[in-house]
């Protein structure tokens, strides 16, 4: 990823939403018909946009998932990639060139054909600064494609690493070996776009009513701050949706969405933290590991691909000694926070990689609660407690002003208990982001939501010296060597093992401290049948039915 705000902007919405997730009640459903003519009403917060160029938060992702089909799709049930627009793919021996063989029966919602050139156009559109005012903030997904730097800088107007020998063949040349590249291609950010659309003077009209290639198409225009309406695409190449449409209703806050669900005008929403236990007990846990809702099993408890953590500024003198960082981590009672603040909808994170991703290994990071050990480490680091139990060490925790402070107040209390003079510094997101990039902080709260379900999507962005999402400013040549080598390993299990070695190495240096892994904490109405939400918080509307 380049220096643009991509992941940081993405987490602007994610952190605020995940800190106080909304509600749902299955007592009543919205009166939008049933059976094949039913419309799913799904509560979201205002998205950053509804098409790939502006795909920066989970609300935008939920909409785009219905509108666009990329090359591949991750199947959380099998934990493997399924063919989507690409029916097959292969790489050369060094995994730095990939060839995707496309279906020939996929069409856009305007009836035009999806070809390899449609992907080249869509991907180039993300990176080319002449597409709109600037390159897309999520164009970093393509940073490993040959020619990215020349395109994003404006030196070139074509993506030299992309070619289409014919309509159904897409060839992608990478700047370095990357055996997981097909997983990158599963994000809706890399969906095809009809040639000539969504750039220059017609950008705004396309952004309001994007033409995609998914199971649902736009019904009218996106009403910013209000709603997005979709309808079934009858000429979809795959299984045509069983419901007639989806209405994504934008709610101002969690409490509002809760009242709307109770009133029967919304089918699915988030559950507020202080009601998670009650919701689960009252409405029943969703099936298939907490991901599929049916009547009587309506509370989504499945694990998300999300980790919340603390960022340690490796350039800050206050925490330059690793023993101080270790003490700060060991002093946090994660179990108590997950129980009291999240009411069981979160669990302590013992790895930066969440459990649903291959390679996640319990206890990789030193996160056990040990107040005595934390105090001893501070003693060793030159901060012994005085007669009042104070250590003369002041630590300020930077957080987003939009976030609920409850969890962070608990962390501050834990640090105070071992003699640290701790405080919270809540900033507006733009100011916090400036501090991240400039290194003007000591410790900060942050979260990471996977774009694609592989360990590399956590390890490379968070710890590579070349990543602008490396907010800890961790700069370790050995880690950079290890992660690039791991990316090149072709055997799946060997690559997972190599990634785990990178994870262990980073944990030993402690540039961050994992806090918790979250559950979906959503609930559906009783009229939703076989309604799945994926670990990436994506509603699978095309396969569900609505009755009642």
Work out the angle at residue 71's Cα, subtended by the Cα atoms of residues 68 and 74, and round it to the nearest 5 degrees: 90
Model pTM score = 0.86
Class of domain 69-206: alpha beta
Give CA–CA dist 39/126, Å, rounded.
32
**Are the CB atoms for 459 and 499 separated by under 8 Å?**
yes
Tens digit of each residue's pLDDT, the chain (548 residues): 332 333 333 333 333 333 333 333 333 334 567 788 899 999 998 998 999 999 888 899 999 999 999 999 999 888 889 999 999 999 999 999 999 999 999 999 999 999 999 999 999 999 999 998 888 888 889 999 999 999 999 999 999 999 999 999 999 999 999 999 999 999 999 999 999 999 998 999 999 999 999 999 999 999 999 999 999 999 999 999 999 999 999 998 777 787 787 777 899 999 888 888 988 999 999 999 999 999 999 999 999 999 999 999 999 999 999 999 999 999 999 999 999 999 889 999 999 999 989 899 999 998 999 999 999 999 999 999 999 999 999 999 999 876 778 889 999 999 999 999 999 999 987 898 899 999 999 999 999 988 889 999 999 999 999 887 899 999 999 999 999 999 999 999 999 999 999 999 999 999 999 999 999 999 999 999 999 999 999 999 999 999 97
Radius of gyration of the chain (CA): 23
> CA neighbours within 13 Å on the CB side: how many for 115?
10
Give the sign of the dihedral formed by CA 152, CA 187, CA 462, CA 179.
negative
Strands 303-312 and 512-519, bridge-based pairing: antiparallel
Give CA–CA dist 80/311, Å, rounded.
31
**Are the CB atoms for 172 and 181 separated by under 8 Å?**
yes
**Are the CB atoms for 53 and 207 separated by under 8 Å?**
yes
Backbone dihedral angles phi then psi of residue 514, each to the nearest 5 degrees: -60, 145
Superfamily of domain 216-302+520-546: Periplasmic binding protein-like II (3.40.190.10)
Q: Which residues pair with 513 in a beta bridge?
A: 310
- Name the residue ranges covered by the structural domains of the chain: 69-206, 216-302+520-546, 305-519
> Which CATH number is correct for 305-519, 3.40.640.10, 3.40.50.970, 3.30.70.2860, 3.10.105.10?
3.10.105.10
């Amino acid at each position: 990823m380049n220096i643009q705000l991509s992941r940081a902007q993405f987490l602007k919405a994610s952190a605020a939403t995940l800190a106080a997730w909304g509600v749902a009640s299955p007592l009543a459903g919205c009166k939008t018909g049933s059976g094949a003519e039913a419309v799913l009403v799904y509560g979201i917060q205002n998205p950053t946009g509804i098409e790939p160029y502006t795909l920066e938060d989970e609300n935008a992702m939920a909409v785009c998932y219905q509108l666009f089909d990329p090359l591949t799709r991750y199947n959380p049930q099998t934990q493997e990639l399924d063919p989507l627009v690409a029916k097959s793919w292969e790489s050369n021996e060094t995994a730095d060139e990939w060839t995707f063989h496309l279906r020939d029966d996929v069409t856009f919602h305007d009836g035009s054909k999806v070809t390899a050139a449609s992907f080249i156009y869509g991907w180039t559109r993300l990176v080319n600064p002449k597409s709109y005012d600037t390159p897309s903030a999520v164009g970093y997904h393509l940073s490993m494609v040959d020619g990215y730097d020349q395109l994003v800088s404006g030196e070139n107007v074509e993506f030299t690493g992309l070619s289409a020998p014919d309509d159904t063949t897409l060839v992608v040349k990478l700047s370095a070996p990357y055996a997981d590249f097909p997983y990158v291609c599963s994000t809706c950010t890399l969906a095809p776009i009809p040639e000539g659309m969504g750039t220059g003077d017609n950008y705004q009209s396309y952004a309001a009513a994007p033409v995609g290639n998914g199971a649902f198409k736009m019904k009218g225009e996106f009403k910013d701050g209000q709603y997005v309406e979709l309808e079934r695409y009858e000429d979809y190449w795959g299984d045509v949706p069983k419901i007639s449409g989806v209405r994504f209703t934008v709610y101002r806050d969690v409490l509002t969405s809760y009242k709307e669900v109770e009133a029967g005008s919304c089918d699915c929403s988030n559950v507020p933290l202080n009601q998670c236990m009650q919701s689960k007990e009252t409405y029943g846990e969703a099936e298939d590991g907490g991901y599929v809702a049916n009547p009587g099993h309506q509370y989504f408890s499945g694990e998300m691909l999300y980790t919340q953590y603390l960022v340690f500024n490796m350039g800050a003198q206050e925490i330059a000694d690793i023993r101080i960082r270790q003490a700060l981590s060991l002093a946090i009672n994660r179990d108590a926070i997950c129980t009291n603040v999240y009411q069981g909808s979160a669990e302590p994170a013992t790895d930066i990689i969440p459990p649903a991703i291959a390679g996640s290994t319990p206890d990789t990071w030193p996160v056990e609660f040990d107040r005595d050990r934390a105090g001893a480490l501070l003693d060793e680091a030159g901060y012994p407690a005085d007669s009042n139990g104070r250590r003369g060490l002041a630590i300020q925790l930077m957080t987003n002003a939009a976030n609920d402070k409850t969890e962070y107040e608990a962390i501050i209390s834990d640090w105070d208990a071992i003699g640290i003079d701790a405080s919270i510094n809540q900033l507006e997101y733009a100011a916090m982001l400036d501090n991240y990039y400039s290194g003007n902080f000591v410790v900060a709260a942050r979260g990471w939501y996977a774009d694609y379900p592989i360990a590399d999507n956590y390890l490379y962005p968070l710890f590579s010296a070349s990543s602008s999402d490396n907010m800890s400013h961790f700069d370790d040549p050995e880690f950079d060597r290890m992660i690039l080598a791991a990316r090149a390993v072709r055997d799946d299990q060997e690559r997972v093992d190599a990634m785990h070695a990178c994870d262990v190495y980073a944990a030993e240096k402690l540039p961050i401290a994992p806090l918790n892994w979250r559950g979906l904490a959503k609930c559906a109405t009783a009229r939703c049948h076989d309604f799945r939400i994926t670990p990436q918080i994506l509603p699978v509307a095309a396969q569900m039915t609505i009755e009642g």
